Amino acid sequence: MHDNKYIDIYNRLIDFWFPRFRFVFRFFLILDKVLHLIAFFYFIFLNEAIKTKMKSCGCGVRLNGRIVMTDPKGVIFGDNVHINSGAYLRTEGGLEIGDNVHISRNITIYTRNHRYNGDLLPYDSVNINKPVLICRNVWVGMNVSIAPGVTIGEGSVIGIGAVVTRDVAPFEIVVPEGPMTIGRRDREHYRRLEKEKLYGGASGYVNKNLS
């Protein structure tokens, strides 16, 4: 049975002592709001600076939160393009996004790839550029990844968590494959641990406060 005295001390601090001093921690809630406000304005100005370096940027383009765009010079945005925070856009190969495209959080778009059949393993220093085109009126959900060379057709919808490695036809709705069962727990083992109230805490150590 795994045990660790430092984990036990930490659990006691969090569950027993800290609740008695909640009034002290209200300061951190206020500080958190202030820092978020500062970050909000910081990224507004930073993203506006990124837009000035793009090849072309339409009206009503909103880049919200932290956006990474590796090479704005080859990027074209139409009007009313919205991209939320957490975006990573590898754009050396060229990226064009049409009018009225709305993209949720944590989008990843690659327009460049390594050469795997070159002079070295697993790949050499030669980069292969393949532009990505997202046509007008497309809605892209959260945590989507788009591979180099992909074209996403007009009016299509890309569902949450999809990995897009092929062209998407106009008006097509793309979602990731459904959940797949790869195994099952041993029920008797599970019920024994549940009966004995053996629950893991941080890093899998025994949580004595729950046992």
Cα–Cα distance for residue pair 61/48, rounded to 1 Å: 10
Determine the distance from the C-alpha atom of residue 148 to the mean position of all C-alpha atoms in its chain, rounded to a whole number. Answer: 18
Would you give the distance in Å from CA 101 to the centre of its chain?
Answer: 18
Determine contact, residues 159/173, Cβ cutoff 8 Å: yes
- Pairing state between β 127-129 and 145-146: unpaired
Q: Is residue 114 annotated as a catalytic residue, yes or no?
A: yes
Burial label for 164, CB within 10 Å (0-12, 13-18, 19+), is buried
Distances (CA, A) of 117 to 30, 58, 147: 54, 39, 18
The Cα 79–Cα 101 span in angstroms is 8
Given 36, 82, 114, 189, the catalytic residue:
114
Rounded to whole angstroms, the Cα distance separating 142 from 158 reads: 9
Active site amino acids: 114
